[in-house]
Amino acid sequence: MEALQTQSGSPVPPLHVAIIMDGNGRWAKSRGLPRTAGHRRGAEAVREAVKAAADLGVSYLTLFGFSSENWKRPQGEVSDLMGLLRIYLRSEIKELHASGVRLCVVGERQQFAPDIVRLIEDAEKKTAANTKFTLVLALNYGGRQELVRAARRFAEDVAAGRCDPAELDEQAFAGKLFTAGIPDPDLLIRTSGEKRISNFLLWQSAYAEMVFLDVLWPDFSRTDLEAAMQEYQRRERRYGTVG
């Protein structure tokens, strides 16, 4: 099946791209640098990926920034990551807002320090009305934890008499997820050569096309995103039907 095309004849880009940004530590180690150097270079790659995705016609970009399992890393590394998150939320939001980007953060944010929570809330509020492009950051996020949270929220609604168990269907359940209102990803990319999704968007990625790249995240470029999108456009998406 040929790729869908726009009126201009070019292939239709995926509406939503999700990326597992992996390889910061290995990038740094291969250069004899501390892991923090890899994370800092990875933050630059984030900036480049957001611009490239918007330029290439993607409407939603979700980045796996910090998993719920990452708290198990050495305390010094976690502190450095939190520092980079603060820097990003303080320094990038003005430019994102000026470019028409809406920022959404998914995950259990209350585990972060109060100042980080305020920065997240302020950034979301400031960019809420923007419609050109949506950047979703998954922070303190875990797919299994998200599913448990959604089930608990629905059970609480049932216990409070706000709904009937018979009302639970896929649409209702999706409405209890962190990503409620955000379309499921069409394309999921993982860098570093690893071929697993590591507890990322388990429900939402049910029909996503997956592309695994050997490039380490700090080296990820527009060219890599274009290559992944071209691979996506070559595939036939049947959603369980016969081709």
Known binding residues for Mg(2+): 22, 209
**CA-to-CA distance for 206 and 213, rounded, in angstroms?**
20
> Annotated binding residues for substrate, as ranges?
23-27, 35, 39, 67-69, 71, 73, 190, 196-198
At 136 the three-state DSSP class reads strand
Active-site position among 22, 80, 184, 186: 22
Known catalytic membership, residue 214: no
Which amino acid makes up residue 80?
Answer: D
Residue 61 φ then ψ, to 5°? -130, 120
Closest C-alpha to 34, from 82, 85, 74: 74
> Annotated binding residues, as ranges?
22-27, 35, 39, 67-69, 71, 73, 190, 196-198, 209
**CA-to-CA distance for 53 and 135, rounded, in angstroms?**
10
Q: Which residue has the tokens 């995926």?
A: 14
| CB atoms inside a 10 Å sphere around CB 183 | 12
**CA-to-CA distance for 81 and 78, rounded, in angstroms?**
5
At 127 the three-state DSSP class reads helix
**CA-to-CA distance for 178 and 56, rounded, in angstroms?**
26
Answer yes or no: are the C-beta atoms of 200 and 138 closer than 8 Å: yes
Active-site position among 55, 70, 122, 140: 70
Known catalytic membership, residue 140: no
Strand positions, DSSP E, 21-127? 60-67, 101-106
Residue 106 φ then ψ, to 5°? -115, 140
Catalytic positions, written as ranges: 22, 70
